[in-house]
Amino acid sequence: MKKVLIISTSVRQGSNSEILAREVERGARDSGNEVEFISLKDKRIAFCQGCLACQKIGHCVIQDDAIAIADKMCESDIIVWATPIYYYEMSGQMKTLIDRVNSLYSRDYKFRDVYLLAVAAEEEEEVPQRAISGLQGWVDCLDKTTLKETLFIGGVNNPNQMKNHSRLQEAYELGKRLGK
């Protein structure tokens, strides 16, 4: 059994990336993992100030929700990011949180495997590449971590369009594979 943290970075009601993430969550639970799901919808996360105090004290000096999320990330075995693709890139909320969990570099974080779930209105294969590259840049800074897999589903634009989507089974199966 692995401790899985799923971070949904969309703030949209009826979020397609969150629907996809919930299916991964279901698969991960069905395979016996301990799963926690965090949505950034109601979280308060400020921009990083670049002070690097987190490297010395082990947490950010800005008192908001990013501190608790970083702590949960530190204690997880697997992290799954879910993002809508906006302008061929990860959501701004995802990038802001990545910047704010800088304290993880100097901590004894447990996670080794990172996954990315992404949805977009556009369907072309290259659509998620910048988001993948951005997340890979973060992963590359974490010596013990690997970007294991990405699941991209294009052609979804309207809220709740992922409900009953033909590819939801892929997300469920990815969830079942987590930690194996």
Q: Nearest Cα to 61, choosing from 46, 44, 75?
A: 46
User: Which residue type, as a one-letter code, is found at position 75?
Assistant: E
Domain 3-177 class in CATH: alpha beta
**Beta strand spans in 19-177 (E):** 34-39, 78-84, 113-120, 146-154
Q: State how far Cα 75 lies from the chain centre.
A: 15
The pLDDT value given to residue 52: 95
The pLDDT value given to residue 180: 83
Distance CA(41)–CA(156), nearest Å, equals: 20
What is Dmax (Cα atoms) for the chain? 48
Distance CA(127)–CA(120), nearest Å, equals: 8
pTM exceeds 0.95, yes or no: yes
Q: Nearest Cα to 61, choosing from 95, 94, 26, 102?
A: 102
Exposure string over 13-29, b if 16+ CB within 10 A, otherwise e? eebbbbbbbbbbbbbbe
Q: State how far Cα 22 lies from the chain centre.
A: 12
Domain boundaries, the chain: 3-177
The pLDDT value given to residue 31: 97
The pLDDT value given to residue 7: 98
Per-residue pLDDT of the chain (180 residues; tens, 9 = 90+): 999 999 999 999 999 999 999 999 999 999 999 999 999 999 999 999 999 999 999 999 999 999 999 999 999 999 999 999 999 999 999 999 999 999 999 999 999 999 999 999 999 999 999 999 999 999 999 999 999 999 999 999 999 999 999 999 999 999 999 988
The pLDDT value given to residue 149: 97
The pLDDT value given to residue 179: 81
Question: 68 is written with which tokens?
Answer: 């608790």
